[in-house]
A and B are shown apart, each in its own frame.
Chain A
Amino acid sequence: MLVYPQLASGALAQFPIVKHRRQRTVVNALADSTTIKLADPDGAVIEWKLTYAALSDSEVAVLQQFFIVAEGSLNGFTFLDPAANLLSRSEQLTDSVWTKDPFLAVAAGVTDPNGSSNGSRISNSGAGPQTIAQTLSAPGGYLYCFSVYAQSSQAATVTLHCGTARIGWKLGTSWNRLSLTGSGDPVSQSIVFGVELPAGAVADIFGLQVEPQPSVSEYKASEAGGVYENANFRDDVFSFTTTGVNRHSAIVNIIHANSL
């Protein structure tokens, strides 16, 4: 699996990031100025313009080598959107994209830290720890930051799973944001992120988020998630500018089309 590389810092991109979405709608304009529209979801395209500055020799070499391996725009690769939450359906924990252990119950509609009702209450009626998790088709060896808001009205702990990394948190009675940075099996092409609840415990959780970077950023609700398989370089040229000793800048354009 070809995957767009992270920088040495663990970040996948630098600011500014420009993201452009295009949909395709067939519009039939009638003589009376009304229109008949037909949506064409297969025509949807997303483009990213990644602008890099102050790259080291080794970082620009990694980008250049990746461009060579992908043979420019020819071969597809997996791209992790640096501006998105990689998880799918981050606020629909009853959805089938989430794997739940059998004794873990999930109830939606809990008041979240923003005052809406997008939080969920998870309760473990079993005699052992139970987990709710999501598996991403993303490289296990990359660095990820997994974060979640959590609270509990009783004394409870939760354990975050970020690939092979684990950390336990004692919950308070008000919302706190918990985060864990880690990676998984370096040869695996998937990685699991989850929240584990001990036997008999109840907790409220909200805002589960995974980002392909070492630190947490503001929570972004997600529907489809930010893992794009079969993305391509838009161009057949990779150029970079050397601005000093061990300092380079480059611009990379990446495209993902539903139809490809």
Chain B
Amino acid sequence: MLHSWDILLSQMDEQEMAEIEQFFVDNQGCFANFTFTDPWDSQVYPSCSIANDGLGLTFAGELRGAARLRIVENRA
């Protein structure tokens, strides 16, 4: 069974937004693999990717950034 996670981020400051954006750039969208820790049970999944090649960042105001990422577990 493979897992996927929809991560909805809101009320982010600009530094956090920049970090999410840089993470997306470093991974070249859905290309690269990374280790992901499930926030529900802290289980570590060693091979995951961003699900698609798009990232939307909304800066609604100071400390009001929002973004959405879908993470998928890859078949080993």
Distance between Cα atoms of A83 and B54 in the complex (Å)? 18
A18 near B56: Cβ-Cβ < 8 Å: yes
Distance between Cα atoms of A10 and B34 in the complex (Å)? 40
A21 near B25: Cβ-Cβ < 8 Å: yes
Near A by CB (< 8 A), chain B positions 25-76 give 25, 28-32, 53-62, 64, 74-75
A interface vs B, CB < 8 Å? 15-25, 27, 32-35, 37-39, 41, 83-85, 217-224
B60 near A25: Cβ-Cβ < 8 Å: no
B interface vs A, CB < 8 Å? 13-15, 17-19, 21-22, 24-25, 28-32, 53-62, 64, 74-75
Instruction: Tell which of B32, B53, B62 has the most Cβ of chain A within 10 Å.
Output: B53
B62 near A217: Cβ-Cβ < 8 Å: yes
Per a CB cutoff under 8 Å, which of B15, B18, B53, B61 touches A25?
B53
Cβ distance B9 to chain A, nearest Cβ, rounded Å? 14
Per a CB cutoff under 8 Å, which of B18, B28, B31, B32 touches A220?
B18
A-B contact pairs, 14 of them (CB 8 A): A15-B64, A18-B57, A21-B24, A21-B25, A21-B55, A23-B29, A24-B29, A39-B28, A41-B28, A218-B13, A218-B14, A219-B14, A220-B15, A223-B25
Residues of B within 8 A of A221 (CB): 15, 18-19, 22
Q: 7 shortest A-B CB distances, which residue pairs?
A: A23-B29, A220-B18, A39-B31, A17-B59, A23-B53, A218-B14, A39-B28
B31 near A37: Cβ-Cβ < 8 Å: yes
Distance between Cα atoms of A222 and B19 in the complex (Å)? 9
Distance between Cα atoms of A203 and B21 in the complex (Å)? 31
Per a CB cutoff under 8 Å, which of A15, A38, A220 touches B61?
A15
Residues of B within 8 A of A223 (CB): 22, 25
Distance between Cα atoms of A220 and B16 in the complex (Å)? 8
A15 near B18: Cβ-Cβ < 8 Å: no
